[in-house]
Amino acid sequence: MNVWFLVAAGLMAGTLFIHCFFGGRTVVPPLLGSKDLGEVPKTIHYGNWHVATIVFTGMTANFLWAATHSEAVELAVFSTAICAAISVWAVAAIIMQKQSFRRILHWFFFLAVAGAGAAGLLL
C-alpha cells in the first residue's frame, strides 16, 4: 500500500467535502441569486460547479485505487498533475485579480494534494 497516495486521497476527500458543504453554502447561492449575470452564464457556472464536484470525486477515487493497487500508478500521476495545475492556475488567478491568498484558499488544498501525490510517486 502506498501511504502517500492514501494521504492524497484523504486530502482530496477533505477538499471535496469543503467544496460541497462550505463552498456550496457560500458560493452557489450568490451565484444563482446574481442580478448581474444572465441566465446562460449562471447555468454554465452552476454546471461547472457540479463538474468540479465530479472531477474531485474521481481524483479521490484515483488516489485511493492507486494507493491499494500498485499497477495503477498512472491514476495517481494524472491526479497529481491535475492538482498541481489547479494550484498553479489558482495562484495565477489570485495574483491577476488582486485577491487575497488568505481569502481564497483552494490553491493551498490542491498544492497539499499534489505534494502528497508527488511524494507517493517519488518515495
Question: Per residue in 2-61, pLDDT tens?
Answer: 999 999 999 999 999 999 999 888 889 999 999 999 999 999 999 999 999 999 999 999
Q: How far is CA 20 from the centre of its chain?
A: 11
pTM: 0.92
- pLDDT for 24 equals 85
- pLDDT for 99 equals 96
DSSP label of 48: H
- pLDDT for 23 equals 85
pLDDT at 63 over 90: yes
Average pLDDT over residues 73-90: 98
Q: Please state, in angstroms and rounded to a whole number, the distance separating the CA atoms of residues 83 and 92.
A: 14
